[in-house]
A and B are shown apart, each in its own frame.
Chain A
Amino acid sequence: MEVKGTIYRIAGPVVTVIDVPTKMYDVVKIGNEGLMGEVIGIEGDKSTIQVYEDTSGIAPGEPVENTGMPLSVELGPGLLESIYDGIQRPLPVLMEKMKSDFIERGVTAPGLDRAREWEFTPVATIGTEVKGGDIIGTVPETHIEHKIMVPPNVSGVVDDIKSGSFKVTDCVCTLADGTELTLMQKWPVRAPRPSRKKLMPNIPLITGQRILDGLFPLAKGGTAAIPGPFGSGKTVTQQQLAKWSDTEIVVYIGCGERGNEMADVLNEFPELADPKTGKPLMERTVLIANTSNMPVAAREASVYTGITIAEYYRDMGYDVSLMADSTSRWAEAMREISSRLEEMPGEEGYPAYLSARLSEFYERAGRVDTLSGLTGSVTVIGAVSPPGGDFSEPVTQNTLRIVKVFWALDSKLSQKRHFPSINWLESYSLYTDLLSDWYNEQVSPEWLQLRGEAMEILQKESELQEIVQLVGSDALPEDQQLTMEVARMLREIFLQQNAFHPVDTFCTMEHQYRLIKAILKYSDMANNALESGIPLEDIISVKSKDDLSKVKFEKELDKELDKVLATMNEEFETMREAVK
């Protein structure tokens, strides 16, 4: 159904068209070049379109075509290892078709490669009754097995099912009513894909980042926000999560950020190995890159494109994590379009529906029972870029009302090159209670207590710091000076983690546990020693303490740590002998 009208007005990415019937969110082709756009407002016989491409040179009177279809993504084998723009056009294909290293306009490209063939193995058999979400067969996509599912709104009895090599548009299964199922399905990006039931998120997302797993854990299917001023480490943290999280699939959205950062990911991910499978990280990753200078309307769409792809893999029973860097740029795209529409602005010029859009988006996260009865999850981690680093602004505030984990980046820490610059006093995780069973069973029954002690020491340090600012550290009693020293160790050894160090970049849960335990063991021995009259000077200058600060960089962490602990015992023993 294609209906034609004409362009009435053009103001940047917003175009008004007349004489063409539309529905909200219909995809419309604009002008002689057929630029893609989406209906975002209707008034009388005029419809307002946000256009996903540059509108320079387009003039009133040019033709308009309504496709009658909502903005959708193509879901099927070939998503993994792809890099798309905000509306799922594969960037390598665009480069080839445009014959240019720059994004020209008026070129369309399907999300999935039409020529490539996939090896389909059926699991459903003739005569089985299938309904939405059921798995009819599998395709080895990368090392990941792609499950071909019945689209959510389809059901029936399998009349015929094939096996062999197929293109994404080939029919592999026919239902009794004649419905043909292909390897590919389409789904409108603004509608969440259905699932049976939401489950409690009680399994942690293990990220290999000490401050995250150790102090402020995120659950699989949970939501987290990383707000921080520029240069405080949002992107590095998101990339660390994309690299080392123990999920099966990663969707990484570069939403209105730098081109070079995406190039970096493209360069690095094929080289890095997934710690769990040993396979190249790229094989489990889908990238969406709508950089800051690419059209804002496509930036607005990019987060929806990303989350729909994430939900699709969740429906196969996978754990998926999605990073959006940065949700503030998405909000700004909304603001820009809203202001072109001359809508009544809410706070700081953002549209009044900002809060609603943010919560709708984060609500699409979750651990679920899928339609086919599997368990899958989508974990969402959104970076937030508050102007001037001021967390009281609308995007940060509205996000914090929804998400359960808050990793507060702090420019005071990043300026001291304390990385990751996550402020341990401001950040929080509301999942700690839900996850405690898991930590008790999988790490150690001691874990929660150790974690509590560490937090207490860090808290204590900040109180003491205030006194030190007034009187200097020498004026503190010795036991408090020791507390400060242990806090420093916690900060430098445990909290600081260098993303660019080949070993330190990833730390297993087991090693996290051992490190924190070693620091607290030093703390215990040091406090006992102090009580028995050993001078503080001697206690804090034991060699094993310096060595402890270096073990995290060692490949053979366990062995080195054993050595350090043994030395530590000896050193304290010797000191005790001496005072006797």
Chain B
Amino acid sequence: MKEYKTINEVSGPLIFVEKTEPVGYNELVYIKLEDGTTKRGQVLDTSKDIVVVQVFEGTGGLNRSCGVRFTGETIKLPVSIDLLGRILSGSGDPLDGGPRIVPEDRIDIGGAAMNPYARKPPEDFIQTGISTIDGMNTLVRGQKLPIFSGSGLPHNDIALQIARQAKVPGSEEAFAVVFAGMGITNEEAQTFMQDFERTGALERAVVFLNLADDPAVERLITPRLALTAAEYLAYEHDMHVLVVLTDLTNYAEALRQMGAAREEVPGRRGYPGYMYTDFSTIYERAGVIKGRKGSVTQFPILSMPGDDITHPIPDLSGYITEGQIVVSRDLHRKGIYPPINVLPSLSRLMNSGIGAGKTRDDHKAVSDQMYAAYAEGNDLRGLVAIVGKEALSERDRKFLEFADMFEDQFVRQGKDEDRSIETTLEIGWNLLAELSEAQLTRIDSETIAKYHPAHRAK
């Protein structure tokens, strides 16, 4: 491989190399520093005159006399089943003191788009043991369902609880967790690792860590490495893989930083105009393929800057993912864990994962009714603040009470409390039984007769 000493310019994370032989777009690049260390980069723009390279480990220490080698191939992840149990850096090097991975294969991390015709619509219910998710925003295998959170909220605890408890009831199939930390603090990383070790989950996990003090550009490849590992385990080893990506906000910041360095015309709030497309190349890698046993389910976490759901990061994510779980500061302040606000939350694949033969025939009706009742009770809270409880009709007061009980009994649960779907629905029915039957307009009479506590008691 020819080494060029023709760096013309270094600017932020980018270097500009001149007088090269033809270099391929997206190629992996090695840059040798004077002190002998090597950095990696990727070609962003290539022409006969100049090649633009983004450097993953940052351009610190680089100068014009560094040597640049073009590898002639795109970035690849060495994969093998031995990835399980390993902790790797944000660019795929071992961090756990273990040996390098002896590859069974080397896979392009870019991840080609899945042929829509090859997709199998996701429909297998995953029980997370959390009522607000299982009962009202059901997760299914192959879905991408992010947590929209804010700084200081317990999204990590929720993610860990899900990673610990997630299962498909009655299924013994192999599963694995792939975890990618992007720009998370050392402390957060340790919390995750300790929990993985405590519960023995590490054995079935692959961890990629790009920490807050690691170079930002590296964050652009970390999720892609993780997803490449996940796809390998899912499609070559028939595993059901749950991918936890945290925190996408840090990823987006890195993307913005790169865009600025390339002097691109910025889109909303300075984020690149192609951020939607870029996000989709991460999120769309969830799925199930016809005729293959494994699946990739994504649970990305992102913190909404200023708790603003219309901020481009949550907004563009929401346009791609199949719903969202919204963590609420209000509920958190009320001391409720997990502080999931079901109203703005949504699982779009819920309908295909629930019902008779999957969860239970009353699931949909219970969920719809609780949504309606909680939404109504929640609206009334605003009114009560102005006119007082006395001005409410009897009917309205019932709904107001329902909202409080809902938060206290259905939403609130322990960090290690693993509720079965039956338990979740039971709690739901007990709450609904506090309303009069005429108000249960979203549940048909047969279902009421079958499941309503008042009828069953007889």
CB distance from A18 to the nearest CB of B (A): 9
Query: Does the CB pair A56–B26 fall under 8 Å?
Result: yes
Is A549 positioned at the interface, with any CB of B under 8 Å from its CB? yes
Q: Given A94-B115, A259-B287, check contact A416 B320 (CB 8 Å).
A: no
Is B387 positioned at the interface, with any CB of A under 8 Å from its CB? yes
CB distance from B288 to the nearest CB of A (A): 9
CB distance from B54 to the nearest CB of A (A): 13
Contacts of A549 in B (CB 8 A): 441
Q: What is the bound-complex CA distance between A11 and B143, given in angstroms?
A: 32
Q: Which of A245-285 contact B (CB under 8 A)?
A: 254, 256, 258-260, 262-264, 266-267
Q: Given A293-B277, A474-B393, check contact A60 B46 (CB 8 Å).
A: yes
Is B93 positioned at the interface, with any CB of A under 8 Å from its CB? no
Q: Given A291-B113, A387-B268, check contact A472 B25 (CB 8 Å).
A: no
The segment from B166-174, B184-192, B342-350 found at the interface with A is B342-350
Query: Does the CB pair B119–A59 fall under 8 Å?
Result: no
Q: Which of B120-168 contact A (CB under 8 A)?
A: 120-122, 142-143
Contacts of B281 in A (CB 8 A): 293
Q: Which of B246-300 contact A (CB under 8 A)?
A: 264-268, 273-274, 276-277, 280-281, 284-285, 287, 289-290, 292
Is B386 positioned at the interface, with any CB of A under 8 Å from its CB? yes
Q: What is the bound-complex CA distance between A56 and B118, given in angstroms?
A: 23
Residue from A59, A94, A254, A339 in contact with B25 in the complex, judged by beta carbons closer than 8 Å? A59
Is A61 positioned at the interface, with any CB of B under 8 Å from its CB? yes
Q: What is the bound-complex CA distance between A417 and B311, given in angstroms?
A: 23
Contacts of A291 in B (CB 8 A): 113, 116, 280, 284
The segment from A20-28, A96-104, A211-219, A358-366 found at the interface with B is A96-104
Query: Does the CB pair B112–A104 fall under 8 Å?
Result: yes
Is A348 positioned at the interface, with any CB of B under 8 Å from its CB? yes
Query: Does the CB pair A102–B315 fall under 8 Å?
Result: no
Contacts of A553 in B (CB 8 A): 444
Contacts of B45 in A (CB 8 A): 9-11
Closest residue of chain B to A287 (Cβ to Cβ) is B116
Q: Given A231-B323, A332-B273, check contact A9 B47 (CB 8 Å).
A: yes
Contacts of A231 in B (CB 8 A): 318, 323-324, 346, 348
Is B8 positioned at the interface, with any CB of A under 8 Å from its CB? no
Interface string of A410-423 (1 = CB under 8 A from B): 01001111000000
Chain B binding surface SS class: mixed
Query: Does the CB pair B289–A61 fall under 8 Å?
Result: no
Q: What is the bound-complex CA distance between A260 and B392, given in angstroms?
A: 45
Query: Does the CB pair B310–A260 fall under 8 Å?
Result: no
Contacts of B267 in A (CB 8 A): 335, 348-349
Contacts of B47 in A (CB 8 A): 8-10, 16, 60
Is B24 positioned at the interface, with any CB of A under 8 Å from its CB? yes
Q: What is the bound-complex CA distance between A259 and B122, given in angstroms?
A: 11
Q: Given A83-B117, A263-B119, A387-B315, check contact A349 B266 (CB 8 Å).
A: yes
Interface string of A437-451 (1 = CB under 8 A from B): 000000000000000
Q: Which of B319-370 contact A (CB under 8 A)?
A: 319-320, 322-324, 343-344, 346, 348-349, 351-352, 364, 368
Contacts of B393 in A (CB 8 A): 473-474
CB distance from A82 to the nearest CB of B (A): 10
Contacts of B277 in A (CB 8 A): 256, 292-293, 296, 332, 336
Query: Does the CB pair A9–B322 fall under 8 Å?
Result: no
Contacts of B193 in A (CB 8 A): none
Is B1 positioned at the interface, with any CB of A under 8 Å from its CB? no
Is A566 positioned at the interface, with any CB of B under 8 Å from its CB? no
Q: Which of A350-401 contact B (CB under 8 A)?
A: 385, 387-390
Query: Does the CB pair B48–A61 fall under 8 Å?
Result: yes
Query: Does the CB pair A294–B113 fall under 8 Å?
Result: yes
Q: Given A260-B121, A474-B393, check contact A415 B375 (CB 8 Å).
A: yes
Interface string of B199-216 (1 = CB under 8 A from A): 000000000000000000
| Besides A56-B24, A57-B26, 16 new A-B residue pairs in contact (Cβ under 8 A), listed by A number | A11-B46, A60-B23, A83-B117, A102-B113, A231-B346, A231-B348, A266-B117, A291-B116, A292-B284, A332-B276, A349-B267, A411-B344, A416-B375, A417-B371, A417-B375, A500-B351
10 contacts between A and B (CB under 8 A): A8-B47, A9-B46, A60-B47, A95-B115, A102-B114, A103-B112, A260-B142, A293-B277, A332-B274, A349-B265
